[in-house]
Amino acid sequence: MYYRFSNTVIGYLNLLTMLAAIPIIGGGLWMARSSATCERFLQTPLLVVGFVVLLVSLAGFVGACFNIAWALWLYLCVMLLLIGVLLGLTVFGFAVTSRGGGTQVPGRVYREYHLQDYHPWLRSRVTDSGSWLAFRSCIVSSKACAMVASWTPLDYMERNLSPVQSGCCKPPTSCQYGEGASAAAQDGDCYRWSNEAAVLCYECDSCRAGVLEQVRRDWHKVTVLNVVVLAFLVGVYSVGCCAFRNARRSGADFPLGENRMSKVRPRWDYYWWRWWYDRKDQLY
């Protein structure tokens, strides 16, 4: 029947999302076995998202296919909460990622990044010593600096660098080393730089800025994707409301199209006024 079209759509959509939740949960469990800090960083969010999607999709699938009104009501409540949270995260993401981008180095292809150019909330993520140790372990395990260790000065002139490589694998371009260098004009990162492979510029502010730039780029892409997902969820929520209405209708004993109005009872003074008018007609 036509009125069950929304139930069919919601059923198929939730079946697909249930199937999609399985690899999400599997990816989180696989990361739990990994020894790399960077991969464990995403383990908890993936598991939470996977189980929430699985449970919500199960409620929507059961409610739509079997016309269970309370399951669809629970599904719509969680969906409304999810839409609100996603909307807040999208607005917050655009606000946080609006700053940064680095500055172009004259005569170079790559850019250099400065910590003060980024949002204060992002800066607080990397200025904490405990959090920075986890980020530093990620950088070292990624071997980003090993890829440029054999570069010649000409390579630095002609080739591009990622934000992490620009900030963590070399000193700032403005640094001058040698007997004629002026100590007063040097950037603080120039003194934190070391040629040792285990040190390099991992404790530099430019390294922290490079990490923030990479996070900013990735987060901005996710925020743009959130806008598309948000529009999709609003459409699914609208169809879910129709399915919920159909489930309530099927739960009653009235078929579609039948007049469901109850009998209207007269007002308390109807009979009294009726008697009065009848008596008046008899008298006159």
Residue-wise burial string across 90-103, b where 16 or more C-beta atoms lie within 10 A, e elsewhere: beebeebbeebebe
Residue 69 has pLDDT above 50, yes or no: yes
DSSP per residue, 64-99 = HHHT-HHHHHHHHHHHHHHHHHHHHHHHHHHHHTTS
Its sign, for the CA torsion 250, 255, 259, 263, is: negative
Mean pLDDT of 269-280: 73
Task: Tell me the pairing of strands 111-112 and 103-104.
Answer: antiparallel
pLDDT tops 90 at residue 172: yes
Looking at per-residue pLDDT, the higher value among 26 and 170 belongs to 170
The span from the first CA to the last CA of the chain, in angstroms, equals: 61
Do the beta carbons of residue 39 and residue 31 sit within 8 Å?
A: yes
Q: What pLDDT is recorded for position 37?
A: 45
What is the average pLDDT score of the chain? 82
Which range, 1-5, 90-94, 126-130, is most confident? 90-94
| Whether the predicted pLDDT of 203 surpasses 70 | yes
Name the residue with higher pLDDT: 24 or 130. 130
241: CB partners within 8 A, 6+ apart:
76
The pLDDT score that the predictor gives to residue 35 is 46
How far is the C-alpha of 123 from the C-alpha of 100, rounded, in Å?
A: 11
The total of other beta-carbon atoms located within 10 Å of residue 216's CB is 24
- Predicted structure pTM score: 0.73
The residue ranges of DSSP E strands in 174-259, in sequence order, are: none
Tokens of 16: 């697909």
Name 59's Cβ contacts closer than 8 Å, sequence gap at least 6: 71, 72, 74, 75, 78
Q: Which CA distances in Å does 6 have to 13, 41, 63, 242, 243?
A: 11, 39, 12, 6, 5
76-123 pLDDT, tens digit each: 998 899 888 889 988 998 999 998 889 999 989 999 999 999 999 999
Q: What percent of the chain has pLDDT over 70?
A: 81
Residue 267: alpha-carbon gap to chain centroid: 57
Backbone angles phi, psi at 104, to 5 degrees: -75, 130
**Residue 237 and residue 83 in contact, taking contact as beta carbons nearer than 8 Å:** yes
Q: What is the pLDDT of residue 116?
A: 93
Q: Report the alpha-carbon distance of residue 136 to residue 140 in Å, rounded.
A: 6
Confidence of residue 5 (pLDDT cuts 50, 70, 90): confident
